[in-house]
Chains A and B, each alone.
Chain A
Amino acid sequence: MPLIDAPEAAMRLARAICSDVSLYNEEKIVRGIEQDNFFDALREELEEGRELYRSRVAPELYQRTNFYDRAIVDVILKSKGHVKSKIW
């Protein structure tokens, strides 16, 4: 499979991966936000997602962009803005 070198496509992939992480780990995400340990609680899931993203995107594009990290915030965290937590 050819590596993705278009920024838009890479961004879409990052969001799609994060969307699936969010879908499968709803309770864990909410708990992580509530208890302010989101990145620790989701470490394995987020790193597996990052690994998939890295494996599909051209190295140069991966190095100079942070689409996956942005997708974590935009897709996973922003949609949980209603969760009560001291982190907001």
Chain B
Amino acid sequence: MKRLADQTLYEILEVREDAAAAEIQAACERARDIYGPGSLATYTLMTPDEADMLAKRIDEARATLLDPEARARYDEALRRTGEAVAAAGGANAPGAPFGSLPPVIPAAQASPPPVAPPESEEAPAARPAILLAAALESPEDEEDLPEAREEPRLAKPIPLEREVSAPPQDPPAPLPAPAVVPPPLPAVPLVHDGAWTGDALRQAREARGLTIQQIAERTKVTRHHIENIEGERFGALPAPVYLRGILVSLARELRLDGQKVARAYLERSAAALSGKPK
């Protein structure tokens, strides 16, 4: 995700660059409501400094984008910056305005770079950043990046979140070895009539070849919760609202239907705790 300081005022407000004044006004008010001082929506997500900076940028956006003259000047500056990006021959070229950019993924690796999983909220921001970096490094290879041409022009250079070390240029990097196809996972034993017991979950985990420690690390669920779930020590398990989330996480890791597993196990747990056999 781009840093606050690097986002354009339009990106701060999440509006298009050709948005009408009324739309910008509404976006300012919405941003203020969501991110304003004391907002419960962000109080655990941002440090006070970040919240202050965001508030200042929202104010800046309001002052600039709602003033036609100031907005025209700002748009012109954005346009010039965009042209500078397009004209730049390389991030480290002498006099290039982006000389301070961290190392980027070279064009030799122009195939789609590894990015965050699609469900990640950060993926949309990270992907264009890497594509832009590759284009800056070697524009002649742009033909190999059809997606890069489809991306909207970025107003400002986007520094990568972390440094990516560039491989040596000479000799050229060898072609990547063909991906090793992992052996098929053993079949998960079928469970009759959806009775997801602790023992069934243990069998499913073992069928996947996972230890309790491994699945605990993958799901961030503590080991003793997993042991208690598999051991059906219902009295030692957390409240249902938490247990449901834990079960969904475990089931997802075991490639099972999280909703079915959670529902079946919670029913079993509730019946056990109320003294009724299930």
Contacts and interface: CB of A to CB of B under 8 A. Distances in A.
Is the pairing of A and B real?
A: yes
Contacts of A23: 245
B44 A19 contact: yes
Nearest to A53: B241
Interface residues of B, number: 20
Contacts of B34: 78, 81
Contacts of A82: 14
Interface of B: 14, 30, 34, 39-42, 44-45, 119, 239-242, 244-246, 248-249, 263
Given A20-B245, A24-B248, A48 B239 contact: yes
A51 B240 contact: yes
A9 to B, nearest CB: 16
A3 B35 CA distance: 33
Nearest to A17: B241
A45 B245 CA distance: 9
Given A27-B119, A78-B34, A21 B241 contact: yes
Given A81-B34, A81-B41, 6 more contacts: A17-B241, A23-B245, A24-B244, A24-B245, A24-B249, A51-B240
A47 to B, nearest CB: 9
A74 B263 CA distance: 27
Interface in A16-55: 17, 19-21, 23-25, 27, 44-45, 48-49, 51-52
Most buried by A among B45, B241, B244, B245: B241
Contacts, number: 50
A60 to B, nearest CB: 22
B239 A75 contact: no
A26 to B, nearest CB: 8
B262 to A, nearest CB: 9
Per DSSP, chain A at the interface is helix
A44 B270 CA distance: 14
9 contacts: A17-B241, A20-B242, A21-B241, A24-B244, A24-B245, A45-B245, A48-B239, A52-B241, A81-B34
B44 to A, nearest CB: 7
A75 B241 contact: no
Contacts of A27: 119
B41 A20 contact: no
A15 B41 CA distance: 10
Given A81-B30, A81-B34, A20 B40 contact: no
Contacts of A21: 241, 245
A63 interface: no
Interface string A55-86: 00000000000000001001100110110000
Contacts of A25: 245, 248
Nearest to B239: A52
A45 B241 contact: yes
Residue from B119, B239, B246, B263 whose CB has the most chain A CB atoms within 10 Å: B239
A3 B5 CA distance: 45
A78 B30 CA distance: 11
Contacts of A19: 44
Contacts of B249: 24
Given A20-B245, A24-B245, A44-B244, A79 B42 contact: yes
A15 to B, nearest CB: 7
> Most B CB atoms within 10 A — which of A19, A20, A82?
A20
